[in-house]
Structure 1
């Protein structure tokens, strides 16, 4: 044991002495020109090192550099610039005055993926024909670095003509092996519009054909979105996929996507071509998609966004900037072409449980066509084709809704309207407006529809019972043959016109138990009021004076329902109708008596009085 310890101590002394002598004998600045030349030959990029290079011995033999930059040929700005760079080198090659870099570490770096940092074509360079075949990719990775680390850095990404996006707190660890594959571990965050997106990625890449081609697997991609307008718990999830990229035509493909989004699950693929105007194709399938949790929708009370806004307002710092107002013309949809195909087995939206939802849409630079948007809601079905135009500062929306036997009460609850109606609705119509939200739909949309309601029930409003009680109170010559008639209106149809929150109903025709009605009216959503003018006919259900029963069957009883939704009032002037019926019956009997007594002088005087 003593000999072993002695041997190790001697070996340690030799290594320390050798490294000390190496530091004293080898000047790291001698490798400056070599490094610049190697980078130039392998990539064409220009490496610039400011200040002297110096040794760092413990715990790893390294060369430390000050400010550095790496610039593409003809670029206006460097692709990479950093305050500090560390090169971990192998010890043995240094004895023969050779440099073997094992790891490059950049700290506080700025990486630019912008048009100003890209390689530029020389002014006098010849341009090949547009249909020429691209040159074969060079073999081997031009950036031949075994291990690259980037710590606490910034990535600036910008598409031509687009806005810059800053990826802050960038930490990257990439290791390359001799099989020309690389392992990636990346973490970063993006902040825009008072929202923060945190990203973390682990995966593997095949880099034999870089920079012309890249392919690999994303083993884990985790994200979390938080901030203004986001639920308090945020939107988070993870995904895995296979990815590929071709630089010549800027095509990419994401296949075998398996992703989670809070409690929702998605799978499918995304492919397309990147460039000045991206061309994307998205095909996704979801077994479950809970939009209420994703967007913090709570239709029974204050939404999570509103709660978060109230909390933020209570602790809001002084305002130093005004948030830029949203403009449809600035939407990213105006700069791309996209085909979207979604198949959703189960969707929850504003409390509605939708099933078998299909969405087939196409975006042409901000002009969106909803070719198919259909599904099941409860026992009914819906279809909502249409078009959305976001090319202008204010979006324009045109829809052709079609509903088949959709339950009314859940629909009213979804739109935050009083749940005073129940039944099933069948509707065909056309709607147009601006802004796709509930406030705009209630206040500024316009359109028309033909509607039919089956088994309509109005809470606290039983029209047959109202008529029955009113007639029973006004006349002792009639009595109902039923104690409490059913208030259900089996069928009601009519036309609807929507104009800035006011729904005008016309050509109403309904059938209930021993009752029929016609009429028209208005429903005002901004003030939550209505005014309905109905004409009700009794088709039986009475005992008593047969003549009066027959007269009621032929007469329309006026019924007006008006007022606020929460406290409706009604007017049913049955006594006037009955009085008129009695008067008409009396006049009829007098006319009959006069006709039988034409020669009677008293009858002639009575006839003159009736004519007056």
Structure 2
């Protein structure tokens, strides 16, 4: 047995020596460079590609089947003169014996200077579609492929166990991948690609590090990227994992206008192709100062992919973030608006839709809850269902332009000058002039182009909404907009103890925006509304109003100048602030008494129980033919107009002393029976902001009243003197003579 074992050992040793000697002879006596033509022919016949070997081929046989290719390129048979890939060096070694067990055991694999060129021609055909495709019968090189032969032929499925991979490492140096599309003119590049891995073995963690410079020409952008993590795959289970993935870099280019955005993201990636699912858990994302956490889950990868997940964005300065990527927000009245923004939401989506469900967003101290969705990304169909605790909309409105500021300052100066003269004179000076300065801005109001493309369905609610310095409680806004037609289904809310509700539409489909509104107001404090134009409103009281108006234009000025419609209003328990109505009445009665006032005018307010009438609006002018006001002991009738274009009023009032004949503030204006039911004329003209301070006694009208009172007094004397001594017909004749 010992002799047999010794003989067997000598035989095996001899066999190994023969194999080594054969390998040495093959590798040293056999030069593969002498067979380049045969290798190229083999590539054409079997792989159906055009292989060009410009450099030397180096190789080893045993125990490693080693190969080194220098300066090689590959092209399709259809276009052999234009390689889609070339490289400077490919080096690899494979153990020979494991190949017999269908196991690939490699040492380090190295690729230097790979240049992969992918291109789609003007007809939409990609050069990669011809890889591995043989020429059709009679087809000549450079001839476009025939129909039905656009892509590589897939080999028939095999039931054998897949080949097992075992590679010590993979290194790619200075690789480049380019893609060009002749149809769109777009180009994409990945340059200076550096890839290094650890041992590549199935079902084992594979350390991976990849760096590259990415670029595109439409728009021109460039990005530096670095990717690292642990790759794990199982081809039988079709399961791929990328654990501890970290992707970072920076982006610059035309959209950023010279600025740079740094970014990083990390997490755990999983793709299970057998179950058609993919997950990204422990997601962390940063872009400049933005920081986000979340997770993403994809289902139905093979049919209709569905997205689910969660997203949390920490508080950040949205204005500064967008400015840092050269996408600044429009200017706002408050330059610090949107400096504090944070968000938490669930994600749901599909191929053409994305929704933020159970959304909680905090914006500058306001909290919003609800849903934000794009139901159709292609159509930009936006859907909003949000409820906020409080929100100050004034902070986010566009600021006034320089022209509008100058216009407002000029009007303010005009009004202040008129007001000072009216107060100083206590209403004894001539009537103020009608205002001439424009009261409304000519700044562009509606973003017409955006509205025409907008597909919006919004349902918003606010615990408290501040708009034009007016606090609106329980505000609600529902609006739909599509193809340039916006329908205001409701805009409602509560102001103090009152309430309002508005419906309407905005049509921007034509050249000029068309606005239509219907409003109903109940017991809303009118002074809060007037504060939008005057911080010290001249009128207080509960406003009740119903009306409908139309207007056209794209500025405040244009809308007011085209304002048309009808309205009915009523003001309950109102007050004319710093009103001189009582003083005007006293002056009129003193004149009729032929006396002079001896007391100083009193500057207290004038209260009234009710004020109302109807308005007819034509081209920005509101005509009011039936004004009526009820003051204790007095009745005021009036008619006139309010020119909304310049916020000016022009009214004729008649003040009638009814039943209250109590003491007046001055002896010269004591009221007796003969003044009962006499209408004292008052004229009001000037800026609307002046209120009753724009009113003066109508001297011309007062002369007619005096004549009437004189006639009444003579008639009373006739009745007293003649009594029953003469017939009624004679007394009537005498009174008739007084009227001539």
Task: Quickly name the TM-score band, shorter chain normalised.
Answer: 0.5 to 0.7
1:293 alignment partner, one of 395, 399, 403: 395
* DSSP-derived class of the 2:676 partner: helix
1:505 alignment partner, one of 624, 633, 653: 624
What is the CA-CA distance between 1:179 and the residue it aligns to? 3.7
In 1: Cα distance, 2:721 partner to 2:243 partner: 121
* DSSP-derived class of the 2:528 partner: helix
What is the CA-CA distance between 1:347 and the residue it aligns to? 1.1
* DSSP-derived class of the 1:467 partner: helix
- Counterparts in 2 of 1:504-523, with a 5 A limit? 504-523=623-642
1:274 alignment partner, one of 362, 365, 376: 376
Q: 1:607 to 1:217 in 2, by over 3 A?
A: closer
What is the CA-CA distance between 1:61 and the residue it aligns to? 9.7
What is the CA-CA distance between 1:449 and the residue it aligns to? 0.8
In 2: Cα distance, 1:202 partner to 1:467 partner: 73
2:335 alignment partner, one of 232, 237, 246: 232
* DSSP-derived class of the 2:606 partner: coil
2:189 alignment partner, one of 78, 81, 84: 81
What is the CA-CA distance between 1:525 and the residue it aligns to? 3.5
2:712 alignment partner, one of 575, 584, 600: 584
What is the CA-CA distance between 1:570 and the residue it aligns to? 0.8
Aligned to 1:127: none
* DSSP-derived class of the 1:540 partner: coil
What is the CA-CA distance between 1:282 and the residue it aligns to? 1.6
* DSSP-derived class of the 1:488 partner: strand
The Cα offsets for residues 435-486 of structure 1, whole Å up to 9 and x where unpaired, read as 5765455444332210000122222324244313431353179999xx9897
In 1: Cα distance, 2:311 partner to 2:254 partner: 20
Aligned to 1:570: 696
2:350 alignment partner, one of 237, 246, 259: 246
Q: 1:328 to 1:141 in 2, by over 3 A?
A: farther
The Cα offsets for residues 480-530 of structure 1, whole Å up to 9 and x where unpaired, read as 9xx989721110110112334322222112211001121111122343432
Aligned to 1:456: 574
* DSSP-derived class of the 1:229 partner: coil
Aligned to 1:121: none
* DSSP-derived class of the 1:235 partner: coil
In 2: Cα distance, 1:204 partner to 1:608 partner: 99
In 1: Cα distance, 2:188 partner to 2:533 partner: 52
* DSSP-derived class of the 1:554 partner: coil
In 2: Cα distance, 1:213 partner to 1:105 partner: 31
Aligned to 2:679: 556
Q: 1:153 to 1:562 in 2, by over 3 A?
A: closer
Q: 1:398 to 1:363 in 2, by over 3 A?
A: same
Matched, 1:203 2:281: no
Structure 1: which 5+ residue stretches go unaligned?
1-20, 37-43, 48-59, 115-137, 157-164, 189-197, 308-324
In 2: Cα distance, 1:532 partner to 1:328 partner: 38
What is the CA-CA distance between 1:145 and the residue it aligns to? 11
| Mapped contact 2:587–2:697 kept (Cα < 8 A) | no
In 1: Cα distance, 2:557 partner to 2:683 partner: 29
Aligned to 1:283: 385
In 2: Cα distance, 1:246 partner to 1:291 partner: 33
- Counterparts in 2 of 1:307-456, with a 5 A limit? 329-331=448-450, 333-416=451-534, 419-434=537-552, 438-440=556-558, 442-456=560-574
Q: Which has the larger radius of gyration?
A: 2
| Mapped contact 1:153–1:169 kept (Cα < 8 A) | yes
What is the CA-CA distance between 1:285 and the residue it aligns to? 1.0
Q: 1:267 to 1:109 in 2, by over 3 A?
A: farther
1:214 alignment partner, one of 287, 307, 330: 307
- Counterparts in 2 of 1:6-21, with a 5 A limit? none
2:649 alignment partner, one of 516, 525, 530: 530
In 1: Cα distance, 2:696 partner to 2:206 partner: 93
| Mapped contact 1:328–1:393 kept (Cα < 8 A) | no
What is the CA-CA distance between 1:346 and the residue it aligns to? 1.2
The Cα offsets for residues 109-138 of structure 1, whole Å up to 9 and x where unpaired, read as 339799xxxxxxxxxxxxxxxxxxxxxxx9
In 2: Cα distance, 1:242 partner to 1:113 partner: 32
The Cα offsets for residues 403-430 of structure 1, whole Å up to 9 and x where unpaired, read as 1101111110124476111111000011
* Cα RMSD after superposing both structures: 5.0
Range with greater deviation from structure 2 (215-224 or 366-375): 215-224
Q: 1:422 to 1:268 in 2, by over 3 A?
A: same
Aligned to 1:119: none
Q: 1:411 to 1:561 in 2, by over 3 A?
A: same
In 1: Cα distance, 2:113 partner to 2:738 partner: 130
| Mapped contact 1:239–1:260 kept (Cα < 8 A) | yes
| Mapped contact 2:394–2:466 kept (Cα < 8 A) | yes
2:215 alignment partner, one of 109, 134, 153: 109
| Mapped contact 2:241–2:270 kept (Cα < 8 A) | no
| Mapped contact 2:241–2:268 kept (Cα < 8 A) | no
| Mapped contact 2:114–2:175 kept (Cα < 8 A) | no
TM-score (normalizing by structure 2): 0.57
In 1: Cα distance, 2:199 partner to 2:608 partner: 95
Aligned to 2:251: 152
In 2: Cα distance, 1:357 partner to 1:459 partner: 29
| Mapped contact 1:109–1:153 kept (Cα < 8 A) | no
* DSSP-derived class of the 1:203 partner: strand
Q: 1:522 to 1:585 in 2, by over 3 A?
A: same
What is the CA-CA distance between 1:338 and the residue it aligns to? 2.8
The Cα offsets for residues 278-310 of structure 1, whole Å up to 9 and x where unpaired, read as 433321111111112233779xxx99xx99xxx
TM-score (normalizing by structure 1): 0.67
| Mapped contact 1:397–1:434 kept (Cα < 8 A) | yes
- Counterparts in 2 of 1:184-199, with a 5 A limit? 184-187=284-287
The Cα offsets for residues 519-547 of structure 1, whole Å up to 9 and x where unpaired, read as 111122343432111122101333799x9
1:69 alignment partner, one of 178, 184, 190: 178
* DSSP-derived class of the 2:585 partner: helix
| Mapped contact 1:88–1:101 kept (Cα < 8 A) | no
